Amino acid sequence: MNRHAAFSFLVAVVASALIWALSPLLAGHAEPWDADGPYYIGALLVAGLIAGVVAPKSPWAHYLGSVVGQLGYELLFLDIGPLILLGGVFLLGFSLIFFVAAVAAAYTRNKVWPGKTKPEARR
C-alpha cells in the first residue's frame, strides 16, 4: 500500500469510527442506524465528503477504511450479539454512501485545486 492509499485508509477509518463514537451524543443511540431520522446517512455523507477533501487519492482505500472503521468500532466498543454478521453485511452497503461522497469530494477538490502541475503538462 503506497503512502497516499495508507493516508486515505487512515482518514476513512477515523472518520467512520467517529460516526459510531458520536452516535450516542448526537443521535441518542449506540448504533447510528438505530437513530430516528437521517443521522446515519447524513453522517456517512459528511464524513465521506471530509475524507475525500482531506485525502483525495486512492478511492478504494476510502471504502475499505469506512468498512474497517465502522466494524472495528463495533467490535472494540459495543456488545457483540448474534447479528454481527448481518451487521457486517449491512456495513458493506452503507459504506458505499461514504465512498460515493468521498469520490465526489475528491473529484471536486482535484478540479478546483489541482495541486502541482506535472512538468510534461507545461509544454
User: Is residue 52 classed as helix, strand or coil in its secondary structure?
Assistant: helix
Lookup: cell for 81: 450479539
How would DSSP label each residue in 43-95?
HHHHHHHHHHHH--S-HHHHHHHHHHHHHHHHHHHS---TTHHHHHHHHHHHH
pLDDT tens track for 70-111: 999 999 999 999 999 999 999 999 999 999 999 999 999 999
User: Is residue 27 classed as helix, strand or coil in its secondary structure?
Assistant: coil
pLDDT tens track for 5-22: 999 999 999 999 999 999
